[in-house]
Structure 1
Amino acid sequence: MREKIKLKIEINRARCNFGIAFDIDGVILRGRVPVGGSPQALRRLYLDSGELIVPYLFLTNGGGIPETKRAKELSELLGVNIMASQVVQGHSPFRNLLKKFENELIIATGKGDPALVMSEYGFKKVLSLEEFASYFESIDPVSQYKRWTTMPQSDRKEPAMPRYNVLSERIKAAFVVSDPVDWGRDIQVLCDVLRSGGLPGGANNNQPPLYFAADDLEYQAAFPSKRLGIGAFRIALESVFNRINPKRLECVTYGKPNPFVFKNAEVILSQLQSSSRQDHSKNNRVPGSHPFEMLYMIGDNPSVDVKGAQQAGHPWFSILTRTGVFQGKDNHAEFPADLVVDSVEEAVDYILKRECIELGA
């Protein structure tokens, strides 16, 4: 059956204008463990030769590492060849801010390697919040009580000389690239930076721009219960900042369900479609028409994945899995999906059968 569906899709490529966007956490993986038959589901989107026959990408609010590295990790975990262009993370839109901050001093925080992420996007003067804080003595008043910093004196490294004039040059923007690891330190240092106009210890009410890669309150990881996400950190930072500062915190958030994210995904999927081996769809396309008849968003979070697809409108079709944040018996009450399934494998099976039937194959 699998090979028959593949053959039908290949024969009818000129009329098979659809693409798929997969969330990762709770849909494809739980932690680093594949769930819902995800490896089998993804293999159905390739020929046995390894050629991609259905344009798809991963649309996640997660991140913290460059898209090239994330693609390699996913390829190893899922057993298929995934390109960096198929990985769209919460912080991927930060590339669009390069022109504004390329040569300005900025800080980045979050799990993984946030400074490397920003550097790979082309930002020339970027420091992790951790490194930036290390140049200001006692900026984190409880650092000596943190086990990961209270190593024997002989094992401690001397603070490196600042790479930039961090003690006199103002931070021009702060980026929360992924879920912060040390909330206490990050809230303290970000409040210092944002209240001082970019130079901790000073007095300047001109808040530098603050950008969040996403705004998820919760997400599904390896632990059975949902975990607090980057949106929870934003709420904590905002609550503290607004209590100690006369002006309210200003910030910009990216990630799903922002319609911009879905429009950007459409562009990337269209590029993947155009680069495929036997794409004749443009020959039958009406000038100015949408390159896809249907785009499927497969996610586990109704308030993020389903809401985002709904706000993006045509041609998005939302599919909700029960392997992550959502585990209800019926559809979600506030953000009902177009389809609810038990797993991503069931979702892909539905899509392939639906598209092939619609094609008249």
Structure 2
Amino acid sequence: MVKIESPLKYYSGMYSSDEDYGSSDDDYHSPTNYGFVFDYDGVLARGSKVIQGAAAAMKRLEVLRIPFMIVTNGGGKDEASKSKDISSRLGYKLDEDQVQLSHTPLRYVARHYHDQLVLALGPSSEVTAKLMRSYGFHKFILADDFHAQYPELWPDEAPKRSGACGGEGNSYK
């Protein structure tokens, strides 16, 4: 079993410098050993509508030097692109490290499995292959390619190969 590191540990001291935000006797000075994790979908925004007060809450946490991050079950983009999208919608600048996507844990998994063959599932072969490479996987097979290679495992017609697999060629028999 692979032990996955908690991404939140990286944020526990992120607002501990008084230089970054200034300080006064009225400010809260201590770095925290806790933080907030917000679900984006349904908590900070519903559909295309941002929940009133979402950006103000994040600004308040920043002033208090309380770390926070946003999680979303959305995928299909890298963290940098998604953080820009969410920042634009919320009207609040987020760092890419403050946004965790459904596939972000692959970054940590790749440390252990980067040279082992893994099956990669995702919205499209091109997007999935790009994300797998960005996380550091060198050997992977996409669902469409696996399906084409082993059509007997599916009751329907085998798809054409995507050709977007990682590693050496597309043959994994």
With the shorter chain as reference, the TM-score category is 0.5 to 0.7
- Alignment-derived partner of residue 154 in structure 1: none
Q: Report deviation, 1:106.
A: 1.7
Deviating more after overlay: 122-131 vs 31-40: 31-40
Q: Distance in 2 between the 1:33 and 1:114 partners?
A: 28
Partner of 1:69: 81
Q: Any residues of structure 2 matched to 1:137-156 within 5 Å, and which?
A: 140-143=154-157
Where 1:58 maps in the other structure, the secondary structure is: strand
Structure 2 distance, partners of 1:162, 1:87, is 27
Check whether the contact 1:107–1:115 (CA below 8 A) recurs between aligned residues: no
1:89 maps onto 2:101 in alignment: yes
User: What residue number does 2:143 align with?
Assistant: 129
Q: What amino acid maps onto 1:59 in structure 2?
A: V
Contact 1:109 1:115 in 2 (8 A): no
> For the pair shown, which has the larger CA radius of gyration, 1 or 2?
1
User: Secondary structure in 2 aligned to 1:42?
Assistant: helix
C-alpha distance in 2, partners of 1:20/1:161? 41
**SS of structure 1 residue aligned to 2:29:** helix
- Deviations along 1:163-189, one digit per CA (max 9) or x if unpaired, are 54544x25xxxxxxxxxxxxxxxxxxx
Q: CA RMSD in A?
A: 3.5
Partner of 2:44: 28
For residue 92 of structure 1, give the secondary structure of its aligned residue in structure 2.
coil
For residues 196-230 of structure 1, give each alpha carbon's deviation from its aligned partner in whole angstroms, at most 9, with x where no partner exists: xxxxxxxxxxxxxxxxxxxxxxxxxxxxxxxxxxx
Show CA shifts across 1:227-250 (max 9, x none): xxxxxxxxxxxxxxxxxxxxxxxx
Indicate the residue corresponding to 2:131 in structure 1: 117
Which residue pairs with 1:38 in the alignment?
A: 54
TM-score of the two chains, using structure 1 as the length reference: 0.33
Q: CA deviation at 1:31?
A: 3.1
Cα offset, 1:61, TM superposition: 4.8
1:56 paired with 2:68, answer yes
Q: Which residue of 1 aligns with 2:18?
A: none
- Secondary structure at 1:74's aligned position in 2? helix
Name which structure has the greater RCO, CA cutoff 8 Å, separation 6+.
1
Contact 2:31 2:65 in 1 (8 A): no
2:9 aligned partner: none
* TM-score in terms of structure 2 length: 0.62
CA distance in 2, matches of 1:14, 1:162: 50
* CA apart distance, 1:45: 4.3
Q: Which residue of 2 aligns with 1:280?
A: none
| Change beyond 3 A, Cα 1:127–1:37 | farther
In the TM superposition, residue 70 of structure 1 has moved relative to its aligned partner by 1.5
Using the TM superposition, give the Cα deviation of residue 107 of structure 1 relative to its aligned residue in structure 2, in angstroms.
1.8
- The answer on whether the counterparts of 2:144 and 2:161 sit within 8 Å (CA) in structure 1 is no
Q: How far has the Cα of 1:68 moved from its partner? A: 1.6
Structure 1 residues 138, 56: CA separation in 2 closer, same or farther (over 3 Å shift)?
same
> CA, structure 1 residues 45+143, in 2 after alignment: closer, same or farther (shift >3 Å)?
farther
Asked if 1:15 corresponds to 2:30, the answer is yes
How far apart are the structure 1 equivalents of 2:161 and 2:59?
Answer: 48
Matching residue's letter, 2:114: E
Aligned length: 145
Deviations 1:16-39 (A, max 9, x none): 635322111210122343224323
Question: Which consecutive residues of structure 1, in runs of 5 or more, have no partner in the other structure?
Answer: 1-8, 150-157, 171-361
**Counterparts of 1:69 and 1:99, CA distance in 2:** 22
**Distance verdict in 2 for CA 1:130–1:76, change over 3 Å:** farther
CA gap 1:63/1:162 in 2 versus in 1, 3 angstroms: closer
d(CA) in 1 for partners of 2:91, 2:141: 35
